[in-house]
Amino acid sequence: MMGMPRGGRLFLATCLCSLFVLVLYFQSITKPEPPLKSGSRPAKSRRSPLQTLYKGDQVACTNWKRVLMVLTSDGRYTDPLAIPANEAHVAGNLRTLSEFSVAEINQRLRSYLKFIFVREPFERIVSAYRNKFTRSYNTAFHKRYGTKIIQRYRTDPEPDALEKGNDVTFREFVQYLVDPRTQREEPFNEHWERVHSLCHPCLIHYDVVGKYETLEPDAQAVLRLASVEGTVQFPTSGKSTRTDGNMAARFFKHISPFYQKKLFNLYRMDFMLFNYSTPDYLRTR
């Protein structure tokens, strides 16, 4: 493991939850960072692969943000679960790499503990679909993506569906993902972008690769490596409605072998890089 900077327990982290990913860092609790050197350049505002604090509304990412807020709050917060979910996602609560100069970014990538959390690709896709297209409160996703998906892939759609985009089927979502036009027109949303494209594991040398399937013990291991396990605990959460392999199998049961194969080929690199087996339910013939 890379050594920690003297006087501080700082680390970067990337966390991916069903659909989305974030790179986080713990700032020193007892000692501020050294002041910026004169002449250092302000961070550029344009988006890049290192602008990696993504907004997310799923439990894993929310809980990581809560943990970080406890560690950077100077005592204002002590219990992660006491922080409302909506407050955890307020922009500006946590600093992102894009706020630093290139030199400062490189220094952090060299010397901080870096970790990434990944998830079984098809379970992640189903989770993203359930969260973004079947929840009534996600109107922004319905308008932004749902209306386009329905217009393109549904025969004779109802006017109300075209206007609201709130009843996208899983089959339509899969068609959207594998359609070459989708990525030609714009990048994938981070909730369903391939992890290898989103987090660049071949470019960033992560010290720890955790998995959503073993999130809580892996998270505690990361906190232990950062020497903060006595300060904060990663929140536990019920998983009664969690998207697992059995639920993913039920969704893919109604997807034709043709589209299953195309989708698997699209996410093949994530299966290989992070050692996930081909799902037993997958039909490609």
| pLDDT above 50 for 2 | no
Residue-wise pLDDT tens digits, 41-55 = 433 333 333 333 233
Mean pLDDT of the chain: 81
Check whether 249 has a pLDDT greater than 60: yes
* Strand extents, DSSP E, the chain: 11-17, 20-26, 113-118, 208-211
pTM for the whole thing?
0.76
* Tens of pLDDT, residues 133-158: 999 999 999 999 999 999 999 999 99
The CA-atom distances, in angstroms, between 197 and each of 57, 179, 189, 201 are 21, 17, 11, 8
Q: What is the CA radius of gyration of the chain?
A: 20
**Domain positions in the chain:** 59-274
Task: Determine the Cα–Cα distance for residues 191 and 125; give it in Å rounded to an integer.
Answer: 8
pLDDT confidence tier of residue 234, bands split at 50, 70 and 90: very high
